[in-house]
Structure 1
Amino acid sequence: MSENEERGGCGAGMVAASSPHAARAGRDVLDAGGNAVDAAIATVLALAVADPINLSLFGRCQILGLTGERFWAIDGTTCAPMVLPEVQADKTRTGFAATPVPGLLPALDRAHRRQGRIALADIVAPAYRLAEEGFVIPPALGAIWQEKGGALAADPGARLFYLKADGTPYGPGEHFRHPALARLLRALSHDLLALGHDRAEREALARRIAASGGFVTAEDLAQDATGDGEILHGTLAGHALTTIGRQGWGHTLVQMAAIIEAGGFDPGDPDFAEHIALTVLCALADRPQEIGTLTPKPFGMPLEMLCDPAFAQARATLIRKQARACDTGARLVVAFGAPGIRADRDTTHLSVIDAAGDMVALTGSIGPHFGAGIADPVHGVLFAHSYRMASDPRAGARDVTEMTPCLVTGAGGLRLAIGAAGSERIPGAVMQVLVGRLMRGLRLREAVEAPRCNWLGGALRLHEGHPAADRLRARGYTIVTSPRDHRRHLGIVQAVERDAAGCAGAADPAYDGASV
């Protein structure tokens, strides 16, 4: 990880991303005169090359931007095909049967047409070079590739493009090239929607999907299902928070901030770490769907209630009461269950700020690592997995995941873009970094690197070295310690900021990211 330590000026701006190769691609576009939107597009295209376990051109994204003083959002999620055969109640869709209509490229196209500054070919060029020339696989990516890549052998396309000639996965330090993806990127360099606009291309792709048991049609590929996203606002420590609405988990982030504000929780209070931990748990418990699924809770609360000031005050009062009770830790295990580890459902995030102070926070995903574990045999693009199609299959239904990109504005001219990977861990990770930066007064890198918490049922997950671990254990909490790496992480945060002193960026040490 790197950070602009001098803070004497921003130059062209700053990019933070989960891949050092992708962060450099975005920075190159800033240096070439591109704005924050141009750099974000360059970065995410490069992530589709250099972080293939977490993103592909057939994935989904949520984009939040600030241009001048105007906030905007684009909902680039995936959705189910418009014609979707029924499936037996006891069956779960997998593979091509759970492959949704992609949303990433249409969302990037919409962003560039509305907000981009430089030519699309110049934006695509860094990703093209990465795919054509290849790159050295960094440590965490390589470790996950070796751990989970073996499953790709079951699909001919994935095996061809993402395993070595002998059928073994790539690993750390090895060189990876993707010439087929480079050819596709070259075709996209003048039209990001070339696959959908070219009738022969989209019909051929649809035939390949259908031949493998999928339902996405040429008509689905021709449609642009993206749209303007809902925007939410909140406050924390005198700063304005802006995030996305029901297309992601922004309500949960705003609720956490509202509880902290309503409770007057103070970093100088010995119980502050417990207050924050209980705030995270409360916000997760208040979500109207079961964690890890799209299944509605029988008595789920409306999302609007989560951000209501009176509701936040009531929750803050409850949290203070819990922090005074002697048996809270034991009660939580009874109420929420013993800890259990479920499969990773990771995402990736990038944050950009340019010389003018315009910002983009973009979160993207293909579902589990390597998405659906299948790839187009011609272009070598991994298909996303749709949780909606797998668990609640309805024609045209949109995937709603835990993405929570966030922008902060406030005192001293601060502008901060932040987001994270990690499914339900995302809003809690973002909030705890903001608490460190805005309430504790930590520098951005310190706030990102500070130990955090999250939950497994009623067990409290703490990063190794968490300063409140002994106190919370003595309070009766069941503690599960998490290493600061890609295994069982507590959110992987990427953030950039600009204030009167200059620019800074930080990438979470749990993964391979960089800020440049």
Structure 2
Amino acid sequence: MILLEKIRAAGFGALALATGAALPAAAQEAAIYSGMDRVHPVWAESGMVSAQERVAAEVGRDILAAGGNAVDAGVAVAFALAVTLPRAGNLGGGGFMLVHDAETGETHAIDYREMAPAGATRDMFLDAAGEADSELSRYSGAASGVPGTVAGMRMALDEYGSMSWADVIAPAIRLAEEGITVTPDLADSLEASQERLTKYPSAAAIFYKDGGEFYRPGDNFVQADLAATLKTIAEQGPDGFYKGPVAEAIAKSVTDAGGNMTVEDLANYKAINREPVKGTYRGYEIVSMPPPSSGGVHLVQILNTLEGYPIGALGENSAETIHLMAEAMKLAYADRSEYLGDPDFVDVPVSQLMSKDYAADMRAKISASFATPSEQIKPADLAPYESDQTTHFSIIDKDGNAVSNTYTINFSYGSGLVADGTGVLMNNEMDDFSAKPGVPNAYGLIGGDANAVEAGKRPLSSMTPTIVNKDGEVWLVTGSPGGARIITTVLQVIMNMIDHDMNVAEASTAARIHHQWLPDELRIEEGISLDTQRALQAKGHTISLQEVMGSTQSVMKDPETGFLLGASDPRRAGAATVGY
């Protein structure tokens, strides 16, 4: 039976195919197909990449088609996104990567989150009156933590990759040097970010034409300084970024903009290989990031709580299901405010938060009939923001190795500061610390002493790169940007597939909800019916209809056919899932 017939027999419908001219004849790509009754995912036989930007996704696919594994492709995609998706892809930020090794069956967690410089102090973002100053924590040189992306990618490639460092960076160098075609999405984002990006001449000179004219769709956008930096990194390894002229330029630019980052801070940066957190949900194994990401802990915590309810029978996005989800979310986000932080500095009660017994205690606090006001919810008595412009990619290769990676520079285009002569946009991740306990950050998240600013500390994150296993094999690789809403976005993709029997495309497109304890409002997208909204209001929920949440990039392996099925969230333009 030929491949297309197998796909049809498996119930996935007829999908349009397009052969990539630069690839072997077997390399193929497909777009999400909307049939009469269902939305169908992209499919492939051998390898698949799902990323927020098409050119970078195709770079990863090319690496897979050339014989590279999932980690080789992941590192190549990360560097390419620094060129093609500058508002979120980065060299000047950091993040988290899960790597599944099919041969050993083990999953590894790489923490390359930014670190506070040695000169950082607890009260550095308070004004003379002792109040949090968001200008300092978001837009000044002090907003930048020591970047981790280059170190994280090198650790991943050295420990789990198969190709050379120079080979996986080469596509990014070519894209920066020769230029990329400006898409409508890139043009719109640059126009929207003009005020911040023109604050610093080093950024304005790169992202706008002479005289400040905007780039338009179809223009060729060259980033010569970034190409030179990428070449230095390719030739010298991470030392080309963390030491020498590039490090000196970063430290000087940050300091000149009011920060205190030194060349020693950059030279001392280390990525960390951590043990992932693991839980179960209705027979599936959930593997996700540990602290300093709060994502994995609270993803498992919420799933544990909801496992005690017949969610599938209650129905997708019914008032009963949404109510239970919101109540479980509130309890988890209250705990986040108290207990989560960098485990190298504070004791995080991970096992207690993720225990099934604790989930039973949480269910005892939930009324099926009424919403508990957030002011009545406090963090449990236990022993001891991310921006929408974060980006995620998911990869599975022909051997079953998998990568789930989420990284960011926080706000769109970070702090807006480009280190002079390097092309490197700097992050503003220091805002993810609690500038003052009890005061919300840019995304409304409350933090306490566990996430206070401290030299060498990594700020708490909501990034939730996740791998779901079924019967010991990788079943789903997923993740999303979305700040405080990352955890709940990933949660709903998983629940949609397990509880509501959706395919990966349907799970990616379904309407989403979010509650983060404070503010006490149930955020919903368009698509939740008015009858459901009224039923939720009758239970005591305050409904807030707002813009869309998240941008999931997901790949799954169908256990019956062995085919790879993927989907890029349609909520943002430019994303692509490609395979061969």
TM-score normalised by structure 1 residue count: 0.88
User: For structure 1, which runs of at least 5 residues remain unmatched after alignment?
Assistant: 337-341, 483-487
Tell me, what secondary structure is at the counterpart of 2:480? strand
AA in 1 matched with 2:558: D
8 Å Cα contact 1:240/1:408 also seen in 2: yes
Q: 1:409 to 1:88 in 2, by over 3 A?
A: closer
**1:128 Cα shift?**
1.7
Structure 2 counterpart of 1:373? 416
| Separation of aligned partners in 1, 2:231 and 2:386 | 35
Q: Percent identity, aligned pairs only?
A: 30
User: For structure 2, which runs of at least 5 residues remain unmatched after alignment?
Assistant: 1-29, 34-39, 378-384, 436-451
Tell me, what secondary structure is at the counterpart of 2:212? coil
**1:67 Cα shift?**
0.6
Number of residue equivalences: 493
Q: Deviations over 1:479-503 (max 9, x none)?
A: 2223xxxxx3322211111123200
8 Å Cα contact 1:263/1:316 also seen in 2: no
| Separation of aligned partners in 1, 2:43 and 2:555 | 15
| Separation of aligned partners in 2, 1:173 and 1:290 | 48
1:98 aligns with one of 140, 143, 163:
143
8 Å Cα contact 2:406/2:465 also seen in 1: yes
Structure 2 counterpart of 1:491? 550
Structure 2 counterpart of 1:79? 115
AA in 2 matched with 1:254: V
Question: After the TM superposition, which segments of 4 or more aligned residues of structure 1 sit over 6 Å from their partners?
Answer: none
Tell me, what secondary structure is at the counterpart of 1:357? coil
TM-score normalised by structure 2 residue count: 0.78
| Separation of aligned partners in 1, 2:186 and 2:112 | 25
**1:344 Cα shift?**
4.7
Answer yes or no: is 1:31 the counterpart of 2:65.
Answer: yes
AA in 2 matched with 1:310: D
8 Å Cα contact 2:42/2:577 also seen in 1: no
Q: Deviations over 1:157-191 (max 9, x none)?
A: 11111222222444555442212212222222244
**1:213 Cα shift?**
3.1
Alignment of 1:290-439 (within 5 A): 302-319=349-366, 321=367, 323-325=368-370, 328=371, 332=373, 344=387, 346-385=389-428, 386-387=430-431, 391=435, 392-411=452-471, 413-439=473-499
Farther-moved stretch of structure 1 (131-140 vs 215-224) = 131-140
Structure 2 counterpart of 1:258? 304
| Separation of aligned partners in 2, 1:412 and 1:399 | 33
8 Å Cα contact 1:139/1:172 also seen in 2: yes
| Separation of aligned partners in 2, 1:190 and 1:343 | 32
Q: 1:226 to 1:471 in 2, by over 3 A?
A: same
AA in 2 matched with 1:496: V
| Separation of aligned partners in 2, 1:258 and 1:205 | 44
Q: 1:180 to 1:426 in 2, by over 3 A?
A: same
1:282 aligns with one of 331, 334, 342:
331
Structure 2 counterpart of 1:461? 523
Structure 1 counterpart of 2:221? 176
1:224 aligns with one of 242, 253, 269:
269
Farther-moved stretch of structure 1 (32-41 vs 451-460) = 451-460
| Separation of aligned partners in 1, 2:387 and 2:434 | 16
8 Å Cα contact 2:288/2:466 also seen in 1: yes
8 Å Cα contact 1:121/1:190 also seen in 2: yes
8 Å Cα contact 2:32/2:42 also seen in 1: no
Q: 1:389 to 1:310 in 2, by over 3 A?
A: closer
**1:409 Cα shift?**
0.7
8 Å Cα contact 1:3/1:504 also seen in 2: no
| Separation of aligned partners in 2, 1:87 and 1:235 | 41
**1:252 Cα shift?**
0.5
| Separation of aligned partners in 2, 1:15 and 1:194 | 29
| Separation of aligned partners in 2, 1:191 and 1:257 | 44
| Separation of aligned partners in 2, 1:212 and 1:282 | 40
| Separation of aligned partners in 1, 2:227 and 2:241 | 18
Structure 2 counterpart of 1:441? 501
Q: Deviations over 1:12-42 (max 9, x none)?
A: x111111112111111111111100011111
Structure 1 vs Structure 2 CA RMSD: 2.8
**1:199 Cα shift?**
3.3
| Separation of aligned partners in 1, 2:388 and 2:527 | 25
| Separation of aligned partners in 2, 1:491 and 1:83 | 34
